[in-house]
């Protein structure tokens, strides 16, 4: 699917028609199916439907009952008319409407993998622009962290979403926004270094002064301005000032847009900070493509960084062997990529 996206971008670029890619897809909201004498309702949820809550099949008492449960926190999603908290219990994904400000209140600034105790109940919400359409949802009233997650955090993943500009379903990067709210400088430096020469949905545009600039998803998310900007280069050179290998790499700055014939891109990034050993470990899944030769290659990479109060250095880097394959980028063909 990544190759279809790149082909579409190339065609649109040639026609000087640019569309804006969505960066996140809406988290599925799970509807509660009330049944008599079912206690653990979190494990009996199904997909949300548009419902008439005045219907006799819905017991109004269920909307007053407050439930308590423990779930694994995944992420917040604030990109829509209602804000959602995503969690998981026994392998099942769950979604709750919430209304607190986790960016200002650190008690609600959970990290992926944290176990949180929640109080929630059934509620109804009107659809924006169409108040006659009412959805039954789960609304979390309060949440509290009870155990910190001791596992790598998924900083980046890919999701399929529909792009209205090209009338097709494409694979797009999704960045963990809640993790960015309390990211440390060493973590920021490690991710910035990893993304320095790997494509991350970079598109040509302009900076605040009207100068042509390459804007990349990860560089922007890390608040490093744009690719090869003074903000990005000064930050990385400062933190890697004692790493000769890194400094040599930072002497030249690549500018590879998502329209490039040969490029690479991330499929997933996991990051884990070990405060006791002062290390940051970044695990990446990467795909490269050559559009001219219709070839692709994949590999995984693990990079370990050691950090101090104001410096960081890469101490280990391992790459798997490349897995090569042929790709079919003809839009008239049914592709398996």
The pLDDT score that the predictor gives to residue 223 is 96
Residue 57 lies in a domain: yes
Report how far residue 171's alpha carbon sits from residue 28's, in angstroms, rounded to the nearest whole number: 17
Helix (H, G, I), strand (E, B) or coil at 88: strand
**DSSP sequence for 33-82:** ---TT---GGGG-EE--B--TTSTTS-GGGGTPPEEEEEEEEEEE-SSSS
Among candidates 260, 248, 205, which has minimal Cα distance to 227? 205
Question: From CA 75, how far away is CA 116, in angstroms rounded?
Answer: 12
Specify whether 319 is located in the same domain as 187. yes
pLDDT at residue 150, rounded to an integer: 67
Q: Once rounded to an integer, what is the mean pLDDT over residues 103-111?
A: 83
Cα 87 to chain centroid distance, Å, stands at 15
Structure confidence by residue, pLDDT tens digits, 26-68: 334 434 343 333 344 444 443 333 334 344 445 566 677 888 8
How many angstroms separate the CA atoms of 122 and 182, rounded?
31
User: What mean pLDDT is predicted for residues 259-268?
Assistant: 93
> Could you report the per-residue pLDDT of 204-222, keeping only the tens digit for each?
999 988 999 999 999 999 9
CATH of the domain at 210: 3.10.450
pLDDT of residue 131: 64
- Euclidean distance between CA atoms 208 and 213, whole angstroms: 10
335 pLDDT higher than 50 = no
Evaluate if residue 143 carries a pLDDT over 50.
yes
Overall average pLDDT of the 135-151 stretch: 83
Final residue belonging to a domain, choices 147, 164, 193: 147
Are both 270 and 321 inside the same structural domain?
yes
Inter-axis angle of helices 230-239 and 185-194, nearest 10: 110
**Residue range 101-126: mean pLDDT, rounded:** 85
Boundaries of domain holding 318: 183-326
Determine the average pLDDT of the residues in 136-144.
90
């Amino acid at each position: 699917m990544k190759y279809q996206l790149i082909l579409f971008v190339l065609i649109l670029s040639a026609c000087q028609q640019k569309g804006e890619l969505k960066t996140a897809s809406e988290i599925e909201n799970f509807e509660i199916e009330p049944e008599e004498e079912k206690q653990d309702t979190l494990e009996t949820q199904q997909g949300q439907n548009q419902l008439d809550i005045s219907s006799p099949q819905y017991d109004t008492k269920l909307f007053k009952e407050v439930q308590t449960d423990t779930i694994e926190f995944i992420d917040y999603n604030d990109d829509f008319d209602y804000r959602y908290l995503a969690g998981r219990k026994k392998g099942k994904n769950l979604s709750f409407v919430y209304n607190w400000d986790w960016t200002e209140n650190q008690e609600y600034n959970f990290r992926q993998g944290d176990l949180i105790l929640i109080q929630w109940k059934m509620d109804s919400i009107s659809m924006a622009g169409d108040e006659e359409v009412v959805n039954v949802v789960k609304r979390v009233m309060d949440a509290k962290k009870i155990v910190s997650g001791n596992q790598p955090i998924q900083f980046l993943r890919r999701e399929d979403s529909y792009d209205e500009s090209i009338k097709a379903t494409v694979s797009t990067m999704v960045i963990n926004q809640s993790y960015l709210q309390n990211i440390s400088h060493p973590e920021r430096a490690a991710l910035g270094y990893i993304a320095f020469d790997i494509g991350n949905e970079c598109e040509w545009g302009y900076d605040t002064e009207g100068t042509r600039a390459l804007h990349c998803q990860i560089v922007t998310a890390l608040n490093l301005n744009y690719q090869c900007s003074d903000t990005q280069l000064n930050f990385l050179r400062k933190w890697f000032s004692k790493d000769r290998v890194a400094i040599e790499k930072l002497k030249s700055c690549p500018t590879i847009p998502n329209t490039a014939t040969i490029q690479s891109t991330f499929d997933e990034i996991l990051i884990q900070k070990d405060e006791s050993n002062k290390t940051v470990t970044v695990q990446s899944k990467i795909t490269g493509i050559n559009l001219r030769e219709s070839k692709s290659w994949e590999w995984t990479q693990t990079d370990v960084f050691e950090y101090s109060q104001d410096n960081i250095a890469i101490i280990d880097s391992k790459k798997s062997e490349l897995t090569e394959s042929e790709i079919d980028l003809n839009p008239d063909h049914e592709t398996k990529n």
